[in-house]
Structure 1
Amino acid sequence: MGIYFYWGEDSFAIAQAVKALKQKTVDPMWESFNFDKFSSDQGDAIVQALNQAMTPPFGSGNRFVWLAETTLAQRCPEEVLTELDRTISALPETTTLLLTSSTKPDGRLKSTKLLQTHATIQEFSLIPPWKTELIAKQVQRVAQELDLKLTQSAIDYVTEAVGNDTRQLQSELEKLKVFAGDRKKPLDETAIAPLVTASTQSSLKLLAAIRQGKTAEALELVADLLRQNEPALRIVSTLVGQFRLRLWIKLMQEAGERDDREIAKAAELNNPKQLYFLKQELASTSVAQLQRVLPLLLDLEYSLKRGSDETIALQTKAIELCQIFQRR
């Protein structure tokens, strides 16, 4: 059946793709015999997976071997490379071999070059949170797959509420599909607003508090977000996207651009109608202030990924960010 290599940060999208490939490959009646998953924390996982891939399937259907979170495309000892080459050249037509990783393959490695020659490689990366136009297209695509009709205002609402979280997007649209029932008229923003969990809305309130220099309110919102189990990195991602958007708009204005369509295009603003309100919001904000924000947020993201205490890290940076916008 072939060799597949899925990689990227979007674990939910990878899980969905794995599920679809497995359904296409394995007979459900013989799944316990013909499906094997090997995790990277097993010392000899690679060799075991390659050996199992050479085994003919039992009963009907094909064999499906999944090597999850593999490091084959990041580091590969010579003896493992030899085994990989031998397996790929003799892989039975009745076997589907799948490798997945959250890390981008290293194109300099022989193992990666071998996979590039023989495998179907697919990337599953999250859309950057500031690319709202691409996120809106993703919302539209998933809605079409579910045969769910949404107005443009509803698509914009879901885009802003869910952001680039594909798992929540799927969940929210499936919920809206049940709500829509047999109705033929597209759902609008008014209809879906009470139903959609707006995970980014509190983060946007946090942004507003920071931009207004309201330290106490910002700290309270940070505490609320953490109580709601909102991932700290997602909070940072929303703030980065929104402040980047505002910086682009301010830079275009400073450069003398007066065409709103050009400003919206440069800032990748999905709904150009929002530009009027954003320009009003930014009237009392300087480019220098916005430029000081992004390094602080990137430093916050780095510290969180290094395992810093989420509460302390978010509170500290919230105070520093508010100080940027406080009028002296």
Structure 2
Amino acid sequence: MPIHLFWGDDAAARDRALHGLTEQVVDPSWSSINLSRLDGAESGQASQALEEARTPPFGGGDRLVLLQRSPFCNGCPAELADQLEAAVELIPDNTHLVLVNAAKPDGRLRTTKTLQKRIKQGLDHEQSFVLPAVWDGAGQRQLVERTAIAIGLTLEPDAIDALVDAIGNDSARLESELRKLSLRADNNGQVSVKLVEELVGGLATNALQVGEALLDGQPGNAIARWDALIEAGEPALRIVATLTGQIRGWLWVSLLEQQGERDVAVIAKAAGIGNPKRIYVMRKQLQGRPPKRFLSLLGRLLEVEARLKRGALPGDAFRDGLLG
């Protein structure tokens, strides 16, 4: 397939896929001639990529032209769009043009439509690499499992949970830590939770996880995550603002569920939540918890904010205002 469209914010997974494709199609003996690495953010390099992609490989193996930060499917100028449409039919079967961008292709652009049509016909290839959201615990577990499989490791279930707690959705650090763990894995390539706790330090957290700890009635966990955020330089008032938005969203979902509303799009709009799919996760989180619990948490958050604005230390404000 002459054109490969790689997109998504999981840079580590993208890089693994690019490395695998390069090893598969490019003969190492001819890589200095048949492998080009270009940057679409640099003037003229997107046009250069199209020119090189029309050139058959020299010697053994295929030619691969890699264009990082490709502009073709995101804000593509008309002149560049014309060049792409003129070039797609001229790329030899043994040349691979790889277009890479962190952003999802803009389906409104004619360049995107041209490539999507070819992809549906089986002429070209598309692959997405999207990180799970910070609130998506199941997605983070799947990220850990996929990355471990790619490296050739198997993980105990508790080891997966420990890695999610320590790393979150930082895919670059996840791959680095898994490669470190692979050096101490057992003969079957399995990693235990004990090994993760021994070799992987730290607590990956965000303000949403502070809220989840409060929701689950785990004040010690909430304090640890709050302190980790403060130590990482996160402004205390910003944490409070995020927590307030999170708990207000829970309150809306809880109230609408209590009134019998089942349409997730309606609930998401009322709660100010951009992704309706998140409602399914929130429903499970909030099951059996009355709205008055969230009203109480909101009142305590106001007390935390007031203490911070009066000059209290972040740790003291959180403990005294929210947990007092």
- Specify the TM-score bucket, using the shorter chain as the normaliser: 0.5 to 0.7
Partner of 1:197: 201
Partner of 2:295: 288
Deviation, structure 1 residue 102: 1.4
Partner of 2:71: 71
2:135 alignment partner, SS class? coil
For residues 135-154 of structure 1, the aligned pairs below 5 Å read 135-154=140-159
Partner of 1:299: none
Partner of 2:164: 159
In structure 2, the CA distance between the partners of 1:151 and 1:84, relative to structure 1 (3 Å rule), is same
For residues 206-285 of structure 1, the aligned pairs below 5 Å read 221-226=228-233, 247=250, 251=254, 255=258, 266-267=280-281
Partner of 1:89: 89
Check whether the contact 1:3–1:96 (CA below 8 A) recurs between aligned residues.
yes
Check whether the contact 1:203–1:225 (CA below 8 A) recurs between aligned residues.
no
- Identity across aligned pairs (percent)? 28
1:179 alignment partner, SS class? coil
Deviation, structure 1 residue 266: 4.7
State the TM-score, normalizing by the size of structure 2.
Answer: 0.68
Check whether the contact 2:162–2:193 (CA below 8 A) recurs between aligned residues.
yes
Check whether the contact 2:297–2:322 (CA below 8 A) recurs between aligned residues.
no
Check whether the contact 1:133–1:268 (CA below 8 A) recurs between aligned residues.
no
Partner of 1:19: 19
State the TM-score, normalizing by the size of structure 1.
Answer: 0.67
Partner of 1:179: 184
User: 1:36-89 deviations in whole A, cap 9, x for unaligned?
Assistant: 122123211121111111112221111111111022112333332222122111
Structure 1 runs, 4 residues or longer, greater than 6 Å off: 202-209, 216-220, 282-285, 291-294
The one-letter code sitting in structure 1 at the alignment partner of 2:27 is D
Deviation, structure 1 residue 127: 0.8
In structure 2, the CA distance between the partners of 1:44 and 1:187, relative to structure 1 (3 Å rule), is closer
Deviation, structure 1 residue 324: 11
Q: Distance in 2 between matches of 1:121 and 1:108?
A: 17
Partner of 1:98: 98
Check whether the contact 2:2–2:95 (CA below 8 A) recurs between aligned residues.
yes
The one-letter code sitting in structure 2 at the alignment partner of 1:287 is F
Instruction: Specify every segment of 5 or more residues in structure 2 that has no aligned partner in the other structure, as ranges.
Output: 119-123, 260-278, 302-310
Structure 1 vs Structure 2 CA RMSD? 4.6
Check whether the contact 2:41–2:70 (CA below 8 A) recurs between aligned residues.
no
Partner of 2:174: 169
Larger displacement relative to structure 2 (173-182 or 142-151): 142-151
Aligned mate of 1:188, from 177, 180, 192: 192
